Amino acid sequence: MFQYGMHVDPQDLRNPERDRFVLSKGHAAVCMYITMAIRGFFDYREIVDTYGQLGSAYGMHPCKVQLPGVEVSTGSLGHGLPLATGMALHGKRSGMDHRVFTLMGDGETGEGSVWEAALAAHSNNLGNLVAFIDRNRQLMTSFSEERVKLEPYPDKWRAFGWNVIEVDGHDMAALVQAFDSLPAPDSDVPTVVICDTVKGKGVDFMERNLAWHAGSLNDTDLARALASLAHGRKAA
């Protein structure tokens, strides 16, 4: 999203015309820091050297007060879509043509506040609002369809009045196409891009393994993981 889909400028953080990004699944902050560093927002070395340490701006969940490059402070699940809805409402009512993006996990859409905001976004015709959902089908301790039945998931969003795009979340070409096919920001229907993903993709011992939802890598695991990724690349 930072590399292709969003119009942002790391040299001009408060440009009113910029696209906004709300990381609703705040626990993925480290991924956002890195991708934003690649885009030129932050210093990669600083993230790696200070992450989670006393005084660092780079914590487990993003804080806009400590790190002004991020749009909002997030972490508690189910908060991102209401926040993004408010930001999109401002853009829409101001007649501006930027978009507001948010990224949610599928698990967090169990939170009622997500569906409250889905209603509000539809009711207020927020065509400038785009929600990406990491549909990895895993919660922390279970697989989503085993204990929490989200399906028919795309239909739920359609029933809430949203435009639904379904993609393979690991297919960069498909993701680019999804960005290219977004309705115009001044249109009236919010869009959800449901990204079919596999948690731990490419690391054989992590794929779809609940134990690695929040696992920590030791040196041996790291070597195995890197080898597995290299093997996958070679095969592809």
Residues in touch with another protein (CB under 8 A): 63-65, 71-73, 75-76, 78-79, 81-91, 93, 112-113, 116-117, 119-120, 123-124
Going by C-alpha positions, the residue among 108, 176, 206 that lies closest to residue 148 is 108
Q: How far is the CB of 204 from another protein (least distance, A)?
A: 37
Tokens representing 123 are 């009711």
Separation of alpha carbons 32 and 63, rounded Å: 12
Going by C-alpha positions, the residue among 105, 167, 103, 115 that lies closest to residue 139 is 105
Any residues with CB less than 8 A from the CB of 207 and at least 6 apart, and which? 198, 199, 200, 201
Q: How far is the CB of 116 from another protein (least distance, A)?
A: 3
In the bound state with another protein, the residue whose beta carbon lies nearer, of 160 and 212, is: 160
Q: How far is the CB of 95 from another protein (least distance, A)?
A: 10
Separation of alpha carbons 90 and 72, rounded Å: 15
In the bound state with another protein, the residue whose beta carbon lies nearer, of 93 and 231, is: 93
In the bound state with another protein, the residue whose beta carbon lies nearer, of 1 and 120, is: 120
In the bound state with another protein, the residue whose beta carbon lies nearer, of 64 and 231, is: 64
Going by C-alpha positions, the residue among 171, 234, 178 that lies closest to residue 197 is 171
In the bound state with another protein, the residue whose beta carbon lies nearer, of 83 and 206, is: 83
Q: How far is the CB of 22 from another protein (least distance, A)?
A: 8
Q: How far is the CB of 38 from another protein (least distance, A)?
A: 25
The whole-angstrom distance between residue 214's C-alpha and the CA centroid of its chain comes to 17
In the bound state with another protein, the residue whose beta carbon lies nearer, of 23 and 167, is: 23
Q: How far is the CB of 187 from another protein (least distance, A)?
A: 18
Separation of alpha carbons 154 and 102, rounded Å: 17
Handedness of CA 170, 149, 76, 50 (dihedral sign): negative
Separation of alpha carbons 167 and 196, rounded Å: 6
